[in-house]
Amino acid sequence: MSTNNPIRVVSPSEVVINNKVYIRVTSHLVLSAHLNAANNLFGGLLVQWADECAGIYVMEILKTHHVVTKKISEVLFNEPAKLGDVLEFLCCVKSVGKTSITVECVTRAKQIDTEDRLRTILNCDLVFVKIDKFGRSTHHNFVLEES
Ligand SMILES: CC(C)(COP(=O)(O)OP(=O)(O)OC[C@H]1O[C@@H](n2cnc3c(N)ncnc32)[C@H](O)[C@@H]1OP(=O)(O)O)[C@@H](O)C(=O)NCCC(=O)NCCS
């Protein structure tokens, strides 16, 4: 086997934007049932999907489903999503506290058959808190690795 051209294996779920590494956590296809009266994706549903995506991401990190959303920051809807768009939901850890983790979520949309461009349609930060069996905040003991 030739060693001249080593193959660099990159995780298919990693996406680099402006030198920041995000993990592609979930995807959704925009169907007609998801549209509002202006024929755009309903914003509330998009926020729900972002919350779900970031929640899964945090649950994977902390290896527990005992987490709740404490805060969703200002939500920027940069561009509308349209029928048939494939959406990808990307997350990265922004900061880590004792009981909380703040996650940045970016959503990008692509119209598969007519364009190659990925449109960034949503940006927001979400704070998740680990809870104990009584629903009280509890230490998660997660430490962010130095990069
Ligand atoms: C999450 C919950 C248990 C936290 O209760 P609390 O009294 O705020 O707990 P604490 O004061 O210990 O704060 C917990 C963490 O939230 C952070 N926090 C509290 N208020 C915050 C705010 N306004 N913005 C950002 N973070 C905040 C704290 O800094 C702390 O993080 P840290 O330990 O990493 O520093 C409680 O608010 C709750 O149950 N909320 C409802 C959650 C929910 O139902 N979400 C929707 C469905 S998942």
Q: What is the pLDDT of residues 1-25, one digit of tens each?
A: 445 556 655 577 999 999 999 999 9
Residues 108-130, mean pLDDT to the nearest whole number? 92
Residues 84-93, mean pLDDT to the nearest whole number? 97
In this structure, the number of other CB atoms found within 10 A of the CB of residue 68 comes to 13
Average pLDDT over the chain, rounded to an integer = 92
| Ligand 1 pocket mutation pick from 47, 59, 70 by most atoms within 8 angstroms of CB | 70
In this structure, the number of other CB atoms found within 10 A of the CB of residue 11 comes to 9
Q: Answer whether 72 contacts ligand 1 (Cβ < 6 A).
A: no
Domains of the chain: 14-130 (3.10.129.10)
Q: Answer whether 139 contacts ligand 1 (Cβ < 6 A).
A: no
Write down the pLDDT at residue 10: 58
Write down the pLDDT at residue 2: 46
Q: Answer whether 97 contacts ligand 1 (Cβ < 6 A).
A: yes
Helix (H, G, I), strand (E, B) or coil at 144: coil
Write down the pLDDT at residue 1: 47
